[in-house]
Amino acid sequence: MDPNSFWSSVFNFDNYGELLALLQNSLWAGAVLGVLGGLVGVFVVKRDLSFAVHGISELSFAGASLALLLGADVVLGSLIGSVAAALLLGLMGLKAREKNSLIGVLMPFGLGLGILFLSLYQGRAANKFSLLTGQIVSVDTVQLDALVVTAALVMAALAVLWRPLNFASDDPDVAAARGVPVKGLSLAFMLILGVSVALSIQIVGALLVLALLITPAAAAFKVTGSPLLVVLLSVAFAVTATVGGILLALGGSIPISPYVTTISFTIYLACWGIGAWRRKTGRNGRRLRVAEQRAAEPKGVSA
Amino acid sequence: MNQQQSAPEAAAPVMSLKGGGLSFGHRALWQGLDLDIRPGEFLAVLGANGSGKSSLLKVLLGLLPLSEGRLERHVPREKLGYVPQQKNFAPDTALRARDLVALGVDGHRWGIRRDRRRVHQVVDGLLEKVGALDYARVPVGQLSGGEQQRLRIAQAMASDPQVLLCDEPLLSLDPRHQNVVSALVNQRCREAGTAVVFVTHELNPVLPYVDRVLYLAQGRFRIGTPEEVMNTETLSELYQGHVEVVRSHDRLLVSGIPEQIHHEQEEVD
């Protein structure tokens, strides 16, 4: 492939205005998923569930490919797959190590099932590919409505659980001592996670859900210690990645996921750099009495 | 020890265990435990690891059911404060000192915080009480163990507790911070009349404050003043071997606790 055709397949802004108008629904879908991914991602990082997200998305993929094969609703298929996986992980209630090996066992099984269903599927090859890598589906109004309603329900649930879920995620022992239903919240969050994974898969595909559900939140944790700011930044990063990814991918012939992942990864790198610089300079908000006194002294006095 | 020893005896207990017993499978940690916890009383719970000290706290918190006997709680659930042992937060945990304390203020309530200003003020007051205002904005992962434990006391005090249940809060602290943290707990105990149940395997930092000691060992236990429990005769009887207790100034030195228990302790630590 010569450089010219490489660039024109990656970036192509011909007839951009028309395309934009055509794919307005996709943009809205991307924005909604960005907000959802940014919010849920914060708890994924807090609860150390990154690997679980990956495992859930593989089973979600299996569900979606089965639905494709049977001619059923693909979104419903992926929803059933991911919610089943999330609840299984939540109900087992295992210690981190056991949980990780269970996910490691489930993941290839889900992926294998998905590939089996896809190879039996006789329809369009593009449909198969998009389940794994995502695409800018021409989201129609009905789909957009369904997405917005589901996402709104998930966010409403998050809002109700907000404070105790934070307590249980940040400080589980004390939360339990205070009477917070730690186990119930864990299960409720797995359900929220399952639904969020299934929704995100439509845009970024099963393999790259992490770019939406983890990278933005992980980046936010690198630059702030404030629980509120971490949420706002995570959402801002995720929306930038999805909406920016769609805008860049519009004209090209490539699935949307490499754009989304590249934007998220760049944001993460920048945040990591800022965090490292702050650690090096020791800026962590501590009020230093000695330093203040020294600064208050007139110059030249302290030799 | 404490001059007000007889005063707490008079008040009605805030919590009582009546013939309480706890066993895991066939192994009985303790049995037939009658314990009244009274307002303003500082009770230290001692014993080797595996003797059921922390499980006793879980029972008092209502997180672990008794195998036998019953627990009576005469104060509301939210009036139980809990101080955990120091733990290592990841350096990038998105929780500053003041946020950790705020969890104690309204972390257990449903929904999103709407009275941010009020919570901020309450947290400031609590931080000031434990002398932690200087690092209020520092992420908890970047605080020393001693600083963290001060915050834990502020966090537990947020609910204005009538009982303060402390689970080895001095573990992995240096002697200076052990003294600071013990003194803060004692201050709460004396000023507000809060009953303190203080699980520890080092008695000396809290010795000046302790009214009563509950010593758990090998399925048996003794309750009494430090003088009554922490002596060669009583501990030897508890461990059924010779245990020597030496008092030197204001410190107690215990030696001769059976080998097997020492090993257990090292493994867990």
Amino acid at B251: R
A289 close to B (CB below 8 A):
yes
pLDDT of B122 above 80:
yes
Distance (Å, whole) CA A253 – CA A258 = 12
Q: Which residue among A174, A221, A279 places its CB closest to the CB of B82? A: A174
Distance (Å, whole) CA B45 – CA B51 = 10
Listed range (A255-264, B124-133, B153-162) with the worst mean pLDDT: A255-264
Q: Which residues of A touch B78 (CB under 8 A)?
A: 178-179
pLDDT of residue B25: 85
CB pair distance less than 8 Å for B107 and A224:
no
CB pair distance less than 8 Å for A221 and B82:
no
CB pair distance less than 8 Å for A177 and B137:
no
Could you tell me if A272 and A215 are in contact, meaning their C-beta atoms sit under 8 angstroms apart?
Answer: no
Mean pLDDT of the residues in chain B = 90
Element (H, E) at B31: strand B27-37
Which residue, A30, A42, A35, is CA-closest to A244? A30
Could you tell me if A257 and A205 are in contact, meaning their C-beta atoms sit under 8 angstroms apart?
Answer: yes
End-to-end CA distance of chain A: 67
Confidence of residue B260 (pLDDT cuts 50, 70, 90): low
**Cβ neighbours of residue A218 under 8 Å, at least 6 residues apart?**
A41, A45, A268
Distance (Å, whole) CA B237 – CA B222 = 10
Distance (Å, whole) CA A89 – CA A59 = 12
DSSP E strand boundaries for chain A: none
pLDDT of residue A135: 67
* Residue B248 neighbours by CB distance under 10 Å: 7
Amino acid at A28: W
| Window B:109-128, CB contacts with A under 8 Å | 109-113
Q: Which residues of A touch B106 (CB under 8 A)?
A: 163
| Window B:144-183, CB contacts with A under 8 Å | 152, 155, 159, 165
Residue A20 token pair: 């934009």
Which residue, B117, B17, B112, B103, is CA-closest to B67? B17
Domain layout of chain A by residue ranges = 28-296
Site of tokens 């080895």: B168
SS3 B214: strand
What's the rounded mean pLDDT across residues B142-164? 95
Distance (Å, whole) CA A260 – CA A254 = 12
Residue A76 token pair: 């419903």
Listed range (A76-80, B11-15, B258-262) with the worst mean pLDDT: B258-262
The distance of B131 to chain A (nearest Cα, Å) reads 13
Q: Which residue in B has a C-alpha nearest to residue A282's C-alpha?
A: B142
pLDDT of residue B45: 97
Disruptive mutation site among B80, B95, B101 for chain A (greatest number of A CBs within 10 Å) = B95
pLDDT tens series, chain A, 303 aa: 677 777 777 777 777 788 777 778 888 989 999 999 999 999 999 999 999 999 999 999 999 999 999 988 888 999 999 999 999 988 886 676 788 888 899 899 999 999 999 999 988 777 777 788 776 556 778 888 988 999 999 999 999 999 999 999 999 999 999 999 999 999 999 999 999 999 988 777 887 888 899 999 999 999 999 999 999 999 999 999 999 998 888 777 788 888 999 999 999 999 999 999 988 887 777 877 655 555 544 444 443
A221 close to B (CB below 8 A):
yes
The distance of A147 to chain B (nearest Cα, Å) reads 23
DSSP E strand boundaries for B109-258: 163-167, 195-199, 212-217, 220-224, 244-248, 251-255
Q: Which residues of A touch B155 (CB under 8 A)?
A: 174
Under 8 Å CB pairs connecting chains A and B tally to 107
Q: Write out pLDDT tens, residues B168-222.
A: 999 989 999 999 999 999 999 999 999 999 999 889 999 999 999 999 998 889 9
A286 close to B (CB below 8 A):
yes
Q: Which residue among A177, A224, A289 places its CB closest to the CB of B82? A: A177
CB pair distance less than 8 Å for A160 and B110:
yes
CB pair distance less than 8 Å for B104 and A226:
no
What's the rounded mean pLDDT across residues B147-171? 96
Distance (Å, whole) CA A205 – CA A134 = 4
Q: Looking at the domain A28-296, which fold is it?
A: ABC transporter involved in vitamin B12 uptake, BtuC (1.10.3470)
* Sign of the CA dihedral with A220 first, then A224, A228, and A232 last: negative
A101 close to B (CB below 8 A):
no
CB pair distance less than 8 Å for A225 and B92:
yes
pLDDT of residue B255: 86
Listed range (A78-82, B55-59, B192-196, B247-251) with the worst mean pLDDT: B247-251
Could you tell me if B214 and B43 are in contact, meaning their C-beta atoms sit under 8 angstroms apart?
Answer: yes
Element (H, E) at A99: helix A96-120
CB pair distance less than 8 Å for A285 and B137:
yes
Distance (Å, whole) CA A40 – CA A32 = 12
B246 close to A (CB below 8 A):
no
pLDDT of residue A1: 62
Residue A247 Cα distances to A16, A26, A28, A29, B41, angstroms: 9, 10, 11, 12, 67
Region at A283 (left for phi over 0; alpha for psi -120 to 50; beta for the rest): beta
Q: What is the pTM of this model?
A: 0.90
A164 close to B (CB below 8 A):
yes
A162 close to B (CB below 8 A):
yes
B95 close to A (CB below 8 A):
yes
Site of tokens 């020791």: A282
Q: Which residues of B touch A161 (CB under 8 A)?
A: 110
What's the rounded mean pLDDT across residues B241-260? 84
Distance (Å, whole) CA A48 – CA B186 = 37
Residue A245 token pair: 């990814």
